[in-house]
Structure 1
Amino acid sequence: MKNLLYLSILFFGVGCSAQKNQSETSGNNNPVFPGWYADPEGIIFDDTYWIFPTYSAPYEKQVFFDAFSSPDLVNWTKHEKVLDTSAIKWANRAVWAPSIIKKDDRYFLFFGANDIQSNEEKGGIGVAVASTPEGPYKDHIGKPLIDKFHNGAQPIDQFVFKDVDGEHYLIYGGWRHCNIAKLNDDFTGFVPFENGEIFKEVTPDNYVEGPFMFVKDGKYYFMWSEGGWTGPDYSVAYAIADSPMGPFKRIGKILQQDPKIATGAGHHSVIKVPNEEKYYIVYHRRPLGETDRNSRVTSIEEMHFDENGLIKPVTITHEGVEAYPLKK
């Protein structure tokens, strides 16, 4: 009975706003906080690390987002329900894969909702806005930003990318298709590319979902998830190009399961420490022995590059990362 109580507290919490990770009880840092959470977007605002994940549950219960903040990647504070469907009148289920960015002293949270399967259904990709990272967020435009299938891409798994010139793009797509679109200045719509196209397909080989992009040494690293999200083969691969438009030729996998540690390692993001060549990959995985598709936890590992700028394969661990405060 004591063991059952311990596991309940570890994975589901007790409603407290401040939560420590697993390290205080077991000596390990993965998962980084209690509970079933997936599709984590990691980002830095000021001197604080943030993670905005999907609340991993049946779609009808997946109606809100929690957020987590940390000064050092080890000690995390939970911010409950920073956004829920009561603030998004057109969304009623399956809200997932949040992506956040700060612009003009406001925080914009992009999300998918309703898991639409056709152009006739209500839902797609929305955007909410708040004055602080922890919200509360409100609907920015009162309707989906994208509610149709363009180039075969299901409107899910959105990532907002700020280019080095200050332009913002939305990279998104499920059903093995990925699009990029240029956001307008107030994030209420899109600006057509020079050829008049709004949604440009940039799908690399083996792409399934979960796109992410960052720039390093003038090169654009485009990353995505492969395999089935409910299975053990879920993984992360990448490509490199000279432009956010590609073309992106797949290089290979850099994150995948380890049957001794966890399965289904995928749908990630990357955190770069400002003014340092220090990178972390934030991802979800399924603990060994868990068979429910929603039993996913958020973990972090350090990510390294070789002398040619290629990403070295990431070893998933129970230990995770050591504390690395941003405020020195």
Structure 2
Amino acid sequence: MSEPFYKYSELPNKKEESGNPIFSGWYADPEAVVFDNKYWIYPTSSLPFEQQLYMDAFSSEDLVNWEKHPKVLSIENISWLRKALWAPAVIEANGKYYFYFGANDIKNNEEIGGIGVAVADTPIGPFKDVLGKPLIGKIVNGAQPIDQFVFKDDDGQYYMYYGGWGHCNIVKMGTDLISIVPFEDGTMYKEVTPENYVEGPFMLKRNGKYYFMWSEGDWNGPDYSVAYAIADSPFGPFRRMGQILKQDKNIATGAGHHSIIKGLDKDEWYIVYHRHPLGDTDGNHRVTCIDRMYFSQDGSILPVEMTNTGVKAASLR
């Protein structure tokens, strides 16, 4: 007997609205990407630092119904990991998937840790560290080597933005995507820190403009938030435009460390971020959420309305 045919709204066990949070468990710093007509989210496991030794992934065909893929990256495949496996950045290139991560929460240049890179043949791994050491393992320009985001410009060049402690650097990626190379002026690191920057950089290009975004405030406090700038170059200068995501005392607090994904329509955008449940004072109790993000006619980003309902089903096909 052939399988029954259903319209989407009639599919068994399918939701039509994501709800927030979009999946259960304590997860933060979500990296949202699209691979092969499917949405993917790679978050930090929001646990005490010593227990942050693995990362799960989640995939969806519609932003609403999510499948969990446990431990796509874990300590078994990172020889130098000791704690604080943070804030993924995942890209597809060269026929492989590259998973950039922060590890060990280093406080000085004598400690081993920083930003590493793991590689796999599929989006669910298992991802394996390819260098046996950090790609960026030193504190440069005052930036703790964490919270990396990898951005591909229209000319095919990849850049990495990263940094905590109120400083952000940009580096140029080598073609192998497991190395960094000098800029034309011979420098390896350029500081691009905007006003009020704390951590969590993200870059988006739209209509020829570079939208640089970051998190402000304390990651475990209620005032954690997202701000942005617009520039004509990936190097800035980035002049702060204002906040677009912050706490709503009727919905949640500590909304930040986000990423953006584009839907099927020309100007369809979603912001994926973490936040704290109302009344919860444990800093590690962070959940991953999604809401729509809109641009105004002048190109500025409108303030994001946080919701408990999330978004409606949106296929990439």
Do residues 311 (structure 1) and 301 (structure 2) align?
A: yes
Contact preservation (8 Å) 1:61, 1:93 = yes
Do residues 226 (structure 1) and 211 (structure 2) align?
A: no
Unaligned stretches of 5+ residues in structure 1: 1-19
Alignment partner, residue 149 of structure 2: 159
Aligned partner letter, 1:211:
P
| Ranges of 4+ aligned residues in structure 1 off by more than 4 Å | none
Q: Match of 1:44, SS?
A: strand
Do residues 260 (structure 1) and 250 (structure 2) align?
A: yes
Query: 1:170 and 1:267 mapped to 2: Cα distance?
Result: 16
Q: CA deviation at 1:275?
A: 5.7
Do residues 145 (structure 1) and 135 (structure 2) align?
A: yes
Unaligned stretches of 5+ residues in structure 2: 1-12
Aligned ranges for residues 47-126 of structure 1 at < 5 Å? Answer: 47-126=37-116
Contact preservation (8 Å) 1:73, 1:323 = yes
Query: 1:248 and 1:326 mapped to 2: Cα distance?
Result: 32
Q: CA deviation at 1:69?
A: 0.1
Aligned ranges for residues 1-328 of structure 1 at < 5 Å? Answer: 29-274=19-264, 276-327=266-317
Alignment partner, residue 15 of structure 1: none
Deviates more, 1:71-80 or 1:187-196: 187-196
* TM-superposition CA deviations, 1:208-252 (whole Å, max 9, x none): 000000100000000000000110000000000011000000000
Q: Match of 1:86, SS?
A: helix
Aligned partner letter, 1:316:
M
Q: Match of 1:142, SS?
A: coil
Q: Match of 1:75, SS?
A: coil
> Equivalent pairs: percent with the same residue?
62
Aligned partner letter, 1:322:
K
Contact preservation (8 Å) 2:270, 2:292 = yes
Query: 1:63 and 1:83 mapped to 2: Cα distance?
Result: 9
Contact preservation (8 Å) 2:275, 2:286 = yes
Q: CA deviation at 1:28?
A: 6.3
Q: CA deviation at 1:195?
A: 1.4
Q: CA deviation at 1:140?
A: 1.6
Query: 2:215 and 2:178 mapped to 1: Cα distance?
Result: 28
Query: 1:71 and 1:264 mapped to 2: Cα distance?
Result: 28
Q: How many pairs were matched up?
A: 305
Aligned partner letter, 2:311:
V
Q: CA deviation at 1:194?
A: 1.5
Query: 2:234 and 2:98 mapped to 1: Cα distance?
Result: 21
Aligned partner letter, 1:123:
G
Query: 1:167 and 1:111 mapped to 2: Cα distance?
Result: 20
Q: Output the aligned Cα RMSD.
A: 1.3
Contact preservation (8 Å) 2:18, 2:313 = no
Query: 2:18 and 2:98 mapped to 1: Cα distance?
Result: 33
Contact preservation (8 Å) 2:89, 2:99 = yes
Query: 1:90 and 1:275 mapped to 2: Cα distance?
Result: 42
Contact preservation (8 Å) 1:28, 1:318 = no
* TM-superposition CA deviations, 1:31-87 (whole Å, max 9, x none): 000000000010101110000000000011100000000000000000000010110
Aligned partner letter, 1:124:
G
* TM-superposition CA deviations, 1:94-119 (whole Å, max 9, x none): 00100000001100000000000000
Deviates more, 1:54-63 or 1:189-198: 189-198
Q: CA deviation at 1:273?
A: 2.2
Query: 2:265 and 2:174 mapped to 1: Cα distance?
Result: 28
Query: 1:28 and 1:192 mapped to 2: Cα distance?
Result: 43
Alignment partner, residue 14 of structure 1: none
Query: 2:235 and 2:75 mapped to 1: Cα distance?
Result: 33
